[in-house]
Amino acid sequence: MKFIGIRDLRNKSAKVWEELNQEKEIIITSNGKPIAILSSVTEENLEENLKAFRQIRAISAVTELQTKSIEKGLDKLTLDQINSEIRAERKNWYL
């Protein structure tokens, strides 16, 4: 897996596109930290790649929500407590 900085992407874009064909994925960094992924696609696999990428993002979002709920102790709520919280919030929506 190859890492390149934003400056190299801007200044050497033709070379980056050539390398992308060989590498298949390139990580873009800013100040040494990863910020984006360039991925090689074709017309034939574009939709499939987008679907897979979106599924991964959704799984990551759910995992983050679960982790935060555990940190806050919300994973120990009973079903009655959850339903009570939902009812209270719904009342706020209608006010």
DSSP structure class, residue 75: G
Does the structural domain 1-40 have CATH classification 3.40.1620? yes
Q: Are 18 and 4 in contact (CB under 8 A)?
A: no
- Average pLDDT estimate for 19-32: 94
| pLDDT value of position 46 | 95
Q: Is 2 helix (H, G, I), strand (E, B) or coil?
A: strand
The pTM for the full model equals 0.65
Whether the predicted pLDDT of 94 surpasses 80: no
Q: Is the pLDDT of residue 74 over 70?
A: yes
Average pLDDT for 13-38? 94
∠ CA(26), CA(43), CA(49), 5° rounding? 50
Give buried/exposed letters for 3-35 (b at 16+ CB in 10 A, else e).
ebeeeebeeeeeebeebbeebeebebbeeeeee
Task: Please tell me the predicted confidence (pLDDT) of residue 95.
Answer: 62
pLDDT-derived band at 78, boundaries 50, 70, 90? very high
**Contact, 23 vs 2, CB < 8 A?**
yes
Please tell me the predicted confidence (pLDDT) of residue 49. 94
